[in-house]
Structure 1
């Protein structure tokens, strides 16, 4: 079953991905993303690594939208 990450995690990862691309990723951003992923996985009984993979894939390799 595929994991559907919540918007809150996707937004945090988008910030991190932007910072990575601009060469200004901070440890605070990394910590915020990792903490949020870990907490969400724990609360929902998910594998943290699979959740992180789903979040990164959704942000870094989005599927093309229908009709475009």
Structure 2
């Protein structure tokens, strides 16, 4: 199933939010080599990391499918999606 451009932008925003969550956890817990994480911290971080990884993989597949359907290079669609997600995050124009 090919996604619409708007769906790709929503997926990109979900990937970005998941990445922010992973980075926040790393900053909160400290480097695992310097600070011993509890098992709950490790599980929380691993769950967040897997969610980010899975969302990113789904986005890559969806962008590839969309690009193929539109006859555009994947990297062009990827850049357009990232820019549109950034514009929405900053309160810019919706595309």
- TM-score bracket, normalised by the shorter chain, equals 0.7 to 0.9
Indicate if the aligned counterparts of 1:14 and 1:59 stay in contact, CA closer than 8 A: yes
Unaligned runs of 5+ in 1: none
Tell me the distance in 2 between the aligned counterparts of 1:36 and 1:16.
13
Deviating more after overlay: 21-30 vs 34-43 = 21-30
Unaligned runs of 5+ in 2: 23-47
Larger proportion of helix: 2
Indicate if the aligned counterparts of 1:17 and 1:60 stay in contact, CA closer than 8 A: no
Once the 2 structures are TM-superposed, how far is the Cα of residue 21 of structure 1 from its aligned partner?
1.1
Q: 2:86 aligns with which of 52, 60, 64?
A: 60
Runs of 4+ in 1 over 4 A off after TM superposition: none
TM-score, normalised on structure 1?
0.76
Tell me the distance in 2 between the aligned counterparts of 1:56 and 1:20.
14
Tell me how many residue pairs correspond in the alignment: 61
| Larger-Rg structure | 2
